[in-house]
């Protein structure tokens, strides 16, 4: 445990005012783990010579091999700052996007964060993401600009150029904070105005109109990073040095007799030293003078590098060592690698651990200072307002007796995940009985640990305000849970995840008898990883869903080595698709204008199996007992609407919950913010759904699907049927519902129609993938309220024969349900034969569900169908020489370059591109190989995109025959994707394997 004993740490844990819980956040490879090494070395846990090389917190084998962090790890450090002693609970997080969920959990546990930025690469996509995450969790960040040595050795900048470069980086980081801040202020302002409006409605009197944005009054200076505020450290973690300007202010105030306060204000900025007047003056840039920062700080470092590394000037080195008053061992002086000498000097002169740790102790809050705003945010979930929570619960806020619970990271014992938890006030001991909310199960913690990087120390009790590990929760916690000693504590808001799990594989044990072990292992993996999802598909396969390729690999390794401990085999990645419809195309595949005739031909060809009436895309279907009829039409939603629905799925889900409780007759106290979000969504939909086709569409929305919050809409166009609007919680548009007899009957079956729609949107007819961007309009819906009760023998027979007939058909199209086919072929006899209400077809509501589902599917097929592919975006940094190859790889994989720009101050290009997920496997590796490791992209899921080619396309016009030939067997990407999915799911695939076999066989012989 280095030179801090366990007793010492236990003693320090009792003083929350001197505890700092912090995490290190950055873009991948910006040097988090290296910096953590330096901090760990300061506690003597590892040797300072190995700091930066060992990467102590990367304890997993695959982390060391790949050189990237994949799991967060926590360690407790001791630091003496002046006369105060501090306990620092440090979490090193991964930077790779695949693991961004680890960042979310780390941020939730901490009160502060060290944001690391590479001095050469500057602000990268993940830097923005982590700053945003820190902001959303209300934790305070400090900044470390790392890898300054690269400015000297790689970019060969002069100290003056480096200063300008550093200024720019700082500006970029502050710009991000600025945007986050502005949007928050504007939001608050809008909220306040709303409340004021309400008040002023009641108080009629003089009105004052204020149109300022509110930004002027708010002091935001403490939010920004600036060296004079003391929240920025400049460092080179690999060489072991780092400084804040406080250190230099201290040095020069002693050496030159300038007041430290003056130096603090002037060391960073446009100031220079007028040696004659012995004054510090403003306007260095205008007068062409060296700024103080360059003269007093950077020049020293530059000349040290010059003497030690570049010129290897022994005498000068000795002089410097003497003047700094430090001791360097003779062994280091003679070492063949100048870097060793450099670290030996720097780590004594400007030890990075001291600069960073003292900044952390001074600038980051202790657990006692948890912002009340943060506590409120954590406790108000979904639509509930904080003030609407029970009084007992609200009281908890001041006590903040909350545990923030998350499974993550850390080494484990016996392969079980250790939950990493922060206790906020009352503390806990190993015998405590802990409740879980909302299902409120009671569990007891078996053991608690202190997390020490690669090791765990058993503890008896942990006082409030610390980060600790809890063992023995695997039976009662599924993925994450809120642990509390009182049932009054509400479950905390869910974590904000940046990554979407998108890559799925099916796994199975090598030996089928080991299935139970695999199942258990997968359950543990599901607990241990916040982003991995484990599920069993209808086909019985065990499926693992991960954020990306690297994440997938880690999950499989974990499963094999830690959780299941058996040999497993994984399928190829299963790529998700979406199904949609588009407007009928205006031109054919050879860009000839399509006449009306061809369009009709297309529709016919697609709907050759539709047994119901199809007229102009309108599908009419009757239930088997012929009591109910629905007419449905499918229309493509505008792209913007689909996007809006996608991005607002949370709002829609909340809306659905509210409607559900309204239906049940309960009333909810809905927060103003939620109502605003719902109203905002409605207004946006209103503005996007314009035109004759969509008149009054928003008011007529019946449901969203699949799962009640997806990107598809069901519209109610039935004239005779008015139902409560989905927007009823907003209070407006709530029309009085007609209470006619017909409407009442329809209302009884309202749910069946919605269920049918939800089923249809969950798996489409193309390859049973979910639908997206489709609007189904119910144009007509009749239900006969009563039916003649007599039972006719002959009909029974008849319907049986239809069933038999239907069974034959199933082979051809597995997805058409037997009942519907039977019903439809019996359609012609509908008028002649009345039939019983409780009949062989089962309850009416069930039939209606099936009929509605089929109607939706046929309506979908009556439109031009398209597949949608999941797309990744990636940002690739590459030098000019390898740019061509990067484009080559992108082109081969159907990637599209969005834009390309030069990174300021470097010779790097930044290329932003999108790439289909289906083509992405091995992409990062291929790019790295083709560019000799110079470019390494990170793929982030961004959106769904319609594949323009029609999978069902066959040549219909003369020109198309000419161009593509009769078989048109040139590659149809969409068809390939579709058939691959169908084959995987065991669905019927229409394929001709060999045609004209004889001809092919004799072809070569004749020649």
The entry of ligand GTP, Mg ion, none near residue 105 (CB within 5 to 8 angstroms by kind) is none
Residue 774 burial (CB < 10 Å; 0-12/13-18/19+)? buried
Residue among 792, 443, 392 nearest 625 (CA): 792
Shortest Å, Cβ 283 to ligand GTP: 33
> Which residues have a Cβ under 8 Å from the Cβ of 310 and sit 6 or more positions away?
none
Q: Which stretch binds Mg ion (CB under 5 A): 24-32, 631-639, 794-802, 805-813?
A: 24-32
Q: Which of 13, 72, 236, 847 binds ligand GTP (CB under 6 A)?
A: 236
Based on the shown chain and the rule CB under 5 A, indicate whether residue 612 belongs to the binding site for Mg ion: no
- The span from the CA of 747 to the CA of 757, in Å, is 16
Residue with tokens 């009085």: 736
Phi then psi for 713, rounded to 5 degrees? -125, 145
Shortest Å, Cβ 26 to ligand GTP: 5
Based on the shown chain and the rule CB under 6 A, indicate whether residue 149 belongs to the binding site for ligand GTP: yes
**C-beta separation of 870 from 942 below 8 A:** no
Residue nearest ligand GTP (C-beta atom): 95
Closer to ligand GTP by Cβ: residue 146 or 674: 146
Based on the shown chain and the rule CB under 6 A, indicate whether residue 654 belongs to the binding site for ligand GTP: no
Q: How many CB atoms lie within 10 A of CB 472?
A: 16
Residue 594 burial (CB < 10 Å; 0-12/13-18/19+)? middle
Shortest Å, Cβ 687 to ligand GTP: 42
In the numeric block, which tokens belong to residue 328? 């360097």
Shortest Å, Cβ 120 to ligand GTP: 9
Closer to ligand GTP by Cβ: residue 106 or 913: 106
Q: Which stretch binds Mg ion (CB under 5 A): 63-71, 817-825, 874-882, 986-994?
A: 63-71
Q: Which of 18, 42, 43, 69 binds Mg ion (CB under 5 A)?
A: 69
Shortest Å, Cβ 62 to Mg ion: 13
The entry of Mg ion, ligand GTP, none near residue 521 (CB within 5 to 8 angstroms by kind) is none
- The span from the CA of 95 to the CA of 27, in Å, is 5
Based on the shown chain and the rule CB under 6 A, indicate whether residue 850 belongs to the binding site for ligand GTP: no
Torsion of CA 720, 726, 727, 732, to 10 degrees: 30
Q: Which stretch binds ligand GTP (CB under 6 A): 203-211, 234-242, 388-396, 861-869?
A: 234-242
Task: Find how far residue 126's CA is from the centre of its chain.
Answer: 12
Closer to ligand GTP by Cβ: residue 18 or 244: 244
Based on the shown chain and the rule CB under 5 A, indicate whether residue 32 belongs to the binding site for Mg ion: yes
- The span from the CA of 935 to the CA of 818, in Å, is 55
Helix (H, G, I), strand (E, B) or coil at 741: helix
Q: Which of 51, 68, 574, 917 binds ligand GTP (CB under 6 A)?
A: 68
- The span from the CA of 329 to the CA of 266, in Å, is 36
Q: Which of 21, 33, 480, 863 binds ligand GTP (CB under 6 A)?
A: 33
Q: Please, which of residues 586-645 interact with ligand GTP by CB under 6 A? A: none
Based on the shown chain and the rule CB under 5 A, indicate whether residue 33 belongs to the binding site for Mg ion: yes
Shortest Å, Cβ 941 to ligand GTP: 19
Q: Please, which of residues 936-995 interact with ligand GTP by CB under 6 A? A: none
The entry of Mg ion, ligand GTP, none near residue 799 (CB within 5 to 8 angstroms by kind) is none
Closer to ligand GTP by Cβ: residue 119 or 544: 119
Closer to ligand GTP by Cβ: residue 305 or 704: 305
> Which residues have a Cβ under 8 Å from the Cβ of 343 and sit 6 or more positions away?
49, 239, 240
State the DSSP code for 481. Answer: -
Shortest Å, Cβ 58 to Mg ion: 6
H helices of 865-972, where? 883-892, 923-930, 958-964
Q: Which stretch binds ligand GTP (CB under 6 A): 32-40, 308-316, 409-417, 836-844?
A: 32-40
Closer to Mg ion by Cβ: residue 63 or 769: 63
State the DSSP code for 757. Answer: H
Closer to ligand GTP by Cβ: residue 147 or 504: 147
Q: Annotate 20-89 with DSSP letters as a single string.
A: EEEEEEESTTSSHHHHHHHHHHTTTSS-TTTTTTS-TT--SHHHHHHTS--S-EEEEEEEEETTEEEEEE
State the DSSP code for 545. Answer: E
- The span from the CA of 484 to the CA of 616, in Å, is 60
Preceding omega of 706 cis (within 30 degrees of 0) = yes
Residues in the chain: 1007
Closer to ligand GTP by Cβ: residue 81 or 348: 348
Closer to ligand GTP by Cβ: residue 340 or 618: 340
In the numeric block, which tokens belong to residue 399? 């006590």
The entry of Mg ion, ligand GTP, none near residue 30 (CB within 5 to 8 angstroms by kind) is ligand GTP
Q: Please, which of residues 71-130 interact with ligand GTP by CB under 6 A? A: 94-96
Closer to ligand GTP by Cβ: residue 100 or 920: 100
Phi then psi for 614, rounded to 5 degrees? -120, 120
Residue among 475, 450, 454, 444 nearest 462 (CA): 450
Torsion of CA 586, 588, 591, 593, to 10 degrees: -50
The entry of Mg ion, ligand GTP, none near residue 150 (CB within 5 to 8 angstroms by kind) is ligand GTP
> Which residues have a Cβ under 8 Å from the Cβ of 156 and sit 6 or more positions away?
none
In the numeric block, which tokens belong to residue 639? 């792209």
- The span from the CA of 93 to the CA of 111, in Å, is 15
- The span from the CA of 413 to the CA of 452, in Å, is 13
Based on the shown chain and the rule CB under 6 A, indicate whether residue 146 belongs to the binding site for ligand GTP: yes
Residue with tokens 């090389």: 53
H helices of 729-868, where? 741-748, 750-762, 793-812, 818-825, 844-861
In the numeric block, which tokens belong to residue 63? 């982390």
**C-beta separation of 10 from 459 below 8 A:** yes
Q: Sign of the C-alpha dihedral, residues 548, 553, 554, 558? A: positive
Q: Which of 28, 297, 470, 849 binds ligand GTP (CB under 6 A)?
A: 28
Q: Which stretch binds ligand GTP (CB under 6 A): 24-32, 378-386, 582-590, 726-734?
A: 24-32
Q: Which stretch binds ligand GTP (CB under 6 A): 15-23, 31-39, 705-713, 778-786?
A: 31-39
Closer to Mg ion by Cβ: residue 33 or 674: 33
- The span from the CA of 604 to the CA of 598, in Å, is 10
Q: Which of 8, 14, 132, 150 binds ligand GTP (CB under 6 A)?
A: 150
Based on the shown chain and the rule CB under 6 A, indicate whether residue 238 belongs to the binding site for ligand GTP: yes
Shortest Å, Cβ 486 to ligand GTP: 38
In the numeric block, which tokens belong to residue 494? 């869910």
- The span from the CA of 294 to the CA of 428, in Å, is 51
Based on the shown chain and the rule CB under 6 A, indicate whether residue 38 belongs to the binding site for ligand GTP: no
Residue among 752, 778, 620 nearest 697 (CA): 778
Q: Tell me how many residues contact ligand GTP (CB under 6 A).
A: 21
H helices of 203-283, where? 245-256, 260-266
Q: Which stretch binds ligand GTP (CB under 6 A): 230-238, 396-404, 464-472, 929-937?
A: 230-238
The entry of ligand GTP, Mg ion, none near residue 556 (CB within 5 to 8 angstroms by kind) is none
Based on the shown chain and the rule CB under 5 A, indicate whether residue 146 belongs to the binding site for Mg ion: no
Based on the shown chain and the rule CB under 6 A, indicate whether residue 26 belongs to the binding site for ligand GTP: yes
Q: Which stretch binds ligand GTP (CB under 6 A): 26-34, 416-424, 755-763, 934-942?
A: 26-34
The entry of ligand GTP, Mg ion, none near residue 633 (CB within 5 to 8 angstroms by kind) is none
Shortest Å, Cβ 471 to ligand GTP: 26
Closer to ligand GTP by Cβ: residue 27 or 682: 27
Chain positions contacting ligand GTP, by CB under 6 A: 26, 28-34, 55, 68-69, 94-96, 146-147, 149-150, 236-238
Chain positions contacting Mg ion, by CB under 5 A: 32-33, 69
């Amino acid at each position: 445990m280095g030179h801090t004993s366990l007793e010492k740490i236990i003693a320090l844990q009792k003083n929350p005012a001197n505890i700092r819980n912090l995490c290190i956040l950055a873009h991948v490879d910006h040097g988090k783990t290296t910096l953590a090494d330096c901090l760990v070395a300061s506690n003597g846990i590892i040797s300072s010579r190995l700091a930066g090389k060992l990467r102590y917190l990367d304890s997993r084998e695959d982390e060391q091999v790949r050189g990237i962090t994949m799991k967060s790890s926590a360690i407790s450090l001791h630091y003496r700052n002046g006369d105060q002693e501090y306990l620092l609970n440090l979490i090193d997080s991964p930077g790779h996007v695949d693991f961004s969920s680890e960042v979310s959990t780390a941020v939730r546990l901490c009160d502060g964060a060290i944001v690391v930025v590479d001095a050469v690469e500057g602000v990268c996509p993940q830097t923005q993401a982590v700053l945003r995450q820190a902001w959303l969790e209300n934790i305070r960040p400090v900044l470390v600009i790392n890898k300054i040595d690269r400015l000297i050795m790689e970019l060969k900048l002069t100290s003056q150029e480096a200063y300008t470069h550093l200024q720019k980086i700082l500006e970029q980081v502050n710009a991000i904070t600025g945007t986050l801040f502005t949007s928050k202020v504007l939001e608050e302002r809008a909220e306040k105005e709303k409340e004021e409006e309400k008040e002023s409605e009641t108080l009629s009197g003089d009105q004052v109109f204020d149109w300022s944005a509110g930004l002027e009054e708010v002091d935001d200076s403490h939010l920004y990073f600036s060296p004079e505020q003391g929240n920025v450290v400049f460092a080179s973690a690999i060489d072991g040095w780092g400084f804040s300007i406080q250190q230099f202010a201290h040095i020069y105030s002693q050496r030159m007799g300038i007041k430290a306060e003056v130096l603090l204000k002037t060391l960073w900025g446009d100031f220079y030293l007028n040696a004659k007047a012995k004054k510090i003056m403003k306007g260095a840039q205008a007068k062409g003078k060296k700024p103080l920062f360059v003269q007093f700080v950077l020049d020293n470092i530059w000349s040290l590098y010059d003497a030690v590394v570049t010129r290897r000037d022994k005498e000068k080195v000795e002089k410097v060592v003497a003047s700094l008053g430090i001791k360097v061992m003779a062994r280091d002086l003679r070492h063949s690698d100048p870097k060793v000498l450099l670290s030996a000097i720097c780590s004594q002169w400007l030890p990075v651990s001291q600069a960073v740790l003292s900044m952390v102790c001074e600038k980051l809050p202790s657990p006692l200072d948890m912002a009340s705003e943060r506590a409120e945010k954590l406790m108000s979930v979904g639509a509930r307002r904080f003030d609407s929570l029970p009084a007992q619960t609200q009281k908890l806020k001041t006590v903040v007796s909350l545990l923030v619970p998350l499974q993550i990271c850390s080494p484990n014992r016996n392969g079980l995940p250790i939950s990493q938890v922060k206790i906020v006030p009352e503390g806990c001991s190993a015998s405590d009985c802990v409740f879980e909310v909302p299902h409120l199960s009671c569990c007891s913690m078996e053991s608690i640990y202190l997390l020490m990087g690669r090791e765990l120390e058993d503890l008896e009790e942990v006082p409030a305000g610390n980060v600790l590990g809890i063992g023995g929760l695997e039976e009662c916690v599924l993925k994450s849970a809120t642990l509390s000693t009182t049932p009054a504590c509400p479950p905390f808001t869910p974590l904000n995840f940046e990554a979407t799990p998108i890559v799925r594989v099916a796994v199975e044990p090598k030996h089928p008898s080991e299935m139970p072990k695999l199942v258990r292992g997968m359950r543990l993996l599901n607990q241990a990883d916040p982003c991995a999802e484990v599920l069993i598909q209808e086909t019985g396969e065990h499926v693992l869903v991960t954020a990306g390729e690297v994440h997938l690999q880690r999950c499989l390794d974990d499963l094999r080595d830690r959780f299941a401990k058996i040999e497993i085999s994984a399928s190829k990645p299963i790529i998700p698709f979406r199904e949609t419809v588009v407007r009928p195309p205006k031109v054919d595949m050879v860009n000839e204008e399509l006449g009306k005739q061809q369009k009709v031909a297309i529709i016919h060809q697609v709907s050759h199996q539709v047994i119901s009436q199809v007229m102009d895309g309108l599908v009419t279907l009757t239930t088997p007992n012929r009591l109910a009829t629905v007419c449905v039409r499918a229309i493509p939603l505008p792209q913007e609407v689909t996007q809006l629905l996608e991005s607002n799925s949370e709002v829609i889900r909340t809306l659905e919950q509210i409607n559900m409780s309204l239906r049940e007759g309960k009333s909810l106290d809905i927060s103003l913010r939620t109502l605003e979000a719902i109203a905002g969504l409605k207004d946006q939909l209103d503005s996007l759904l314009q035109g004759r086709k969509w008149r009054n569409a928003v008011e007529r929305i019946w449901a969203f699907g699949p799962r009640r919050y997806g990107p598809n809409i069901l519209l109610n166009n039935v004239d005779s049927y008015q139902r409560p609007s989905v927007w009823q919680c907003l209070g407006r548009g709530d029309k009085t519902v007609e209470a006619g007899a017909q409407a009442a009957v329809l209302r009884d079956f309202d749910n069946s129609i919605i269920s049918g729609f939800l089923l249809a949107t969950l798996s489409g007819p193309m390859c049973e993938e979910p639908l997206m961007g489709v609007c189904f309009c119910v144009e007509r819906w009749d239900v006969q309220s009563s039916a003649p009760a007599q039972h006719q023998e002959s009909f029974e027979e008849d319907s049986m024969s239809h069933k038999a007939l239907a069974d034959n058909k199933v082979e051809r199209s597995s997805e058409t349900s037997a009942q519907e086919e039977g019903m439809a072929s019996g359609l012609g006899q509908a008028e002649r034969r009345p039939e019983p209400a409780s009949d062989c077809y089962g309850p009416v509501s069930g039939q209606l569900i099936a009929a509605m589902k089929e109607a939706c599917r046929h309506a979908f097929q009556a439109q031009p169908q398209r597949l949608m592919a999941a797309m990744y975006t990636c940002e690739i940094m590459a030098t000019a020489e390898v740019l061509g190859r990067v484009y080559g790889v992108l082109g081969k994989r159907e990637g599209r370059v969005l834009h390309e720009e030069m990174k300021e101050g470097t010779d790097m290009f930044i290329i932003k591109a999108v790439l289909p997920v289906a083509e992405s496997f091995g992409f990062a590796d291929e790019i790295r190989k083709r560019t000799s490791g110079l470019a390494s992209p990170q793929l982030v899921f961004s959106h769904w995109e319609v594949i323009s080619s029609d999978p069902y396309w066959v040549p219909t016009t003369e020109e198309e025959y000419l161009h593509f030939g009769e078989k048109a067997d040139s590659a149809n990407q969409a068809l390939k994707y579709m058939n691959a999915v169908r084959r995987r799911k065991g669905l019927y695939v229409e394929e001709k394997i060999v045609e004209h076999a004889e001809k092919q066989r004799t072809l070569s012989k004749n020649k």
